[in-house]
Structure 1
Amino acid sequence: MNHKPTAVLFGGTGFIGRHLANRLTARGWRLIIPTRRWQNARNLLLLPTAEVVELKERTLPALTALVRGADLVVNLVGILHSRPGAPFGPDFAQAHVEWPKRLATACRDAGVSRFIHISANGASPTAPSEYLRSKAAGEAAIRTVLDAAGSENPTQWTILRPSVVFGPGDSFLNLFARLARWAPVLPIGKADAKLQPVYVGDVASVMLTALETPESIGQSYPLGGPRVYTLKALVDYAARLSGHPRPVIALPDRLAFLQARLMALLPNPPLTPDNLRSLEVPNVVDGSPLPFGLTPTALEAIAPEYLAHDTYRAHYAEWRRRHTG
């Protein structure tokens, strides 16, 4: 009987995780997908080699037991908002620093051979936002845990730093498309911020290629798409594709931060002041957008088919998918 390699995907019920799970299943991997709530993983139960596990304990012993015997562990856990703090808030500290440190320790203790961690482009201890500073601290924690054991460490790590990720089900372009349906104008802060969106399928391809590339061990890679856009251009593009073109108004910083502070009061805020501070750093990639010689997918090749679902163009795209195989 052929041995199926086993991957444990933490955060596997999320946007990137669902795409990666499909790709790994297609390659014959057995998947273990921990989740706090079983209902979050209902769609993944359709994957023939996926096992959904309710993660009731997040202690080091529980994590070590869960990942023992796995060939690969992927950490996709991340949050966008936190209570404030210095150098970052407690929620960022827990999700972006303490959690990956504990998970890396569990992988080391359980003898897991590969660990892939998803960070963020622009992560730096001196970044202007708590989000980016916490991402940098998480990377440092992983390196400390897994490099401290030296040659005796069984776990080989790779860190990926994607720019903003787009694709079906994303929370970026879809957000602006939804806003355009009811807002007569779209006022945004940091309208001139530079971003280099990367397709979720390309992020999954980089992870799979890294597993087959020994040179990726102990390396960190920024990930981007083929083009750099301003935030204003992306908002305008999402609104037009959704069939609801709207004027996009660039707010001065004073009004932008006021807007963000008000939005931060909502239960699931679309924007916070810390999000704006992240945009002060160009979210672009120096050099090749993707490692390993991979070719990035253009935003314009993907976004129309999931943003324009209420337009004739989208209906045609759906018809073409169904009738052309």
Structure 2
Amino acid sequence: MNSHESNNTTPAALPKIRKVCVIGGAGFVGRHIVHLLHSGGYEVRVPTRHRERAKDLIVLPGVDVVEADIHDPSALSTLLEGMDAVINLVGILHEKHVGRIDKPSARRGDFHQAHIELPRKILQACAKHGIKRVLHMSALNADATSKSAYLRSKGAGEALLREAGQPHSDNERGYLDGPKFTRGQRMAVTVFRPSVIFGAEDSFLNQFAWLLRCLPVMVLACGQAKLQPVYVEDVARAFVRSLENPAAYDQAYDLCGPKVYTLQQLVAYVAQLQGIKRPVFSLNDRLSYFQAWLLEKLPGKLMTRDDYYALLGNSVCGCDFPAVFGFQPTPMEVIAPKYLAQGVEHSHYDGFRCNARR
């Protein structure tokens, strides 16, 4: 897949963007985006379920952190009132409530609600308030026909967003009954599909660092799966630099770092940075599936069968980092040592964390 795609129907230039609502702005990637927007002089609104957990954002002048239920259409409409652009970063990796595709929308599970229904509600609220600029976080390999429910839901949600940027007639039905917009009301949509994202507060490399300190041996499912990790700050810069760039309208960008690794290589690298000597083994396909099935049953869900299906498709980009952003992606080796090495300082707590499964 190319790093960017276009429907070749770029809308006219939009009015100057001053106010941006960042949905998911209190999360890992969102905080970086909000800080960059603040530095760029934008007014930012950040909805969150727990306002007190976003203290670093609350203190920023021009950043309004609002406690709200983004899944409530009425609350969402209120949040978007007066905004010039919307950035949607909402994504979940695991479901607490697993649904079925043949059930009504409310019973199709957490992936469906977060990755399909929420984007639909956002588009409807944008149409109501005349918001034309929408940036959306998807995932590398997102595909509405994927065997992975996560990637399948991300693919369907992405299709909704990209559809919102296409011209059409009033009587057309949208993807999965999504909103269609009349000619002249098209939105300027940009979709981002990152590989796995790393950074000081990530739940990827940090989780392996924790596991390495807890376990006497590391046995990996899908250890030969290929990944191309991308730095969180690079993802944030790509979003912000696209916001008012007409060249990014109606585009979908794959975001990857400069180097491809196997999962086994990544875990071995983390162990090296931590100064931990642990054997790291990669299971074959059948045992990988069994491990995923077993871990799915345990509290915390370190891995699920859906993760297994997602890892079967290598999370790598087929081309260079998009030149439109004006910078090259940061090598993991430049950033990871700065925060992974710090884990050694807190290793005397690890026994308690392992026993408590935290």
Per the TM superposition, whether the score is higher than 0.5 is yes
Unaligned ranges ≥5, structure 1 = 313-325
1:31 aligns with 2:50: no
CA deviations on 1:30-58 (whole Å, 9 max, x unpaired) are: 11110112233223213222111111463
Aligned to 2:193: 161
SS in 2 for 1:287: coil
SS in 2 for 1:160: strand
Point out the more displaced range, 107-116 or 303-312.
Answer: 303-312
Tell me which of 248, 254, 258 is aligned to 1:222. 254
Report 1:1-80 matches (<5 A): 5-56=18-69, 58-80=71-93
Aligned to 1:258: 290
Whole-angstrom CA distance in 1 between matches of 2:38 and 2:208: 32
C-alpha displacement at 1:126, in angstroms? 2.6
CA deviations on 1:259-291 (whole Å, 9 max, x unpaired) are: 222222234312111011101111111111234
SS in 1 for 2:146: coil
Tell me which of 117, 135, 141 is aligned to 2:154. 135
**Cα 1:226–1:107 shift into 2, 3 Å:** same
Aligned to 1:319: none
Whole-angstrom CA distance in 1 between matches of 2:300 and 2:123: 29
Confirm or deny: 8 A CA contact 1:112 1:154 kept in the other structure: no
Give, as a single letter, the amino acid of the residue that structure 1 aligns with 2:28. F
Identical aligned pairs, as a percentage?
43
C-alpha displacement at 1:91, in angstroms? 1.1
Confirm or deny: 8 A CA contact 2:84 2:132 kept in the other structure: yes
Tell me which of 314, 321, 340 is aligned to 1:307. 340
Give, as a single letter, the amino acid of the residue that structure 2 aligns with 1:91. D
Confirm or deny: 8 A CA contact 2:199 2:232 kept in the other structure: yes
Give, as a single letter, the amino acid of the residue that structure 2 aligns with 1:299. M
Confirm or deny: 8 A CA contact 2:17 2:84 kept in the other structure: no
Aligned to 1:248: 280
Tell me which of 288, 291, 294 is aligned to 2:327. 294
Report 1:86-101 matches (<5 A): 86=101, 90-101=109-120
**Cα 1:12–1:177 shift into 2, 3 Å:** same
Whole-angstrom CA distance in 2 between matches of 1:87 and 1:145: 25
C-alpha displacement at 1:182, in angstroms? 1.3
SS in 2 for 1:128: coil
CA deviations on 1:135-156 (whole Å, 9 max, x unpaired) are: 1100112233453325422631
Give, as a single letter, the amino acid of the residue that structure 1 aligns with 2:221. G
Whole-angstrom CA distance in 2 between matches of 1:124 and 1:58: 23
CA deviations on 1:100-156 (whole Å, 9 max, x unpaired) are: 111121112211231100000001123231111111100112233453325422631
C-alpha displacement at 1:160, in angstroms? 0.4
Runs (4 or more) in structure 1 with deviation over 4 Å come to 86-89
Tell me which of 192, 196, 199 is aligned to 2:224. 192
Confirm or deny: 8 A CA contact 1:101 1:145 kept in the other structure: no
Whole-angstrom CA distance in 2 between matches of 1:81 and 1:282: 19
Give, as a single letter, the amino acid of the residue that structure 2 aligns with 1:167. G
Whole-angstrom CA distance in 2 between matches of 1:310 and 1:219: 39
1:277 aligns with 2:309: yes
**Cα 1:298–1:291 shift into 2, 3 Å:** same
Confirm or deny: 8 A CA contact 1:166 1:199 kept in the other structure: yes
CA RMSD of aligned residues (A): 2.1
**Cα 1:166–1:310 shift into 2, 3 Å:** closer
Unaligned ranges ≥5, structure 2 = 1-15, 167-179, 346-358
Confirm or deny: 8 A CA contact 1:198 1:223 kept in the other structure: yes
Whole-angstrom CA distance in 1 between matches of 2:102 and 2:155: 11
What TM-score do you get using the length of structure 2 for normalisation?
A: 0.81
**Cα 1:245–1:105 shift into 2, 3 Å:** farther
SS in 1 for 2:312: coil
How many corresponding residue pairs?
A: 310
SS in 2 for 1:308: helix
C-alpha displacement at 1:24, in angstroms? 0.9
Whole-angstrom CA distance in 2 between matches of 1:268 and 1:40: 21
Give, as a single letter, the amino acid of the residue that structure 2 aligns with 1:28. G
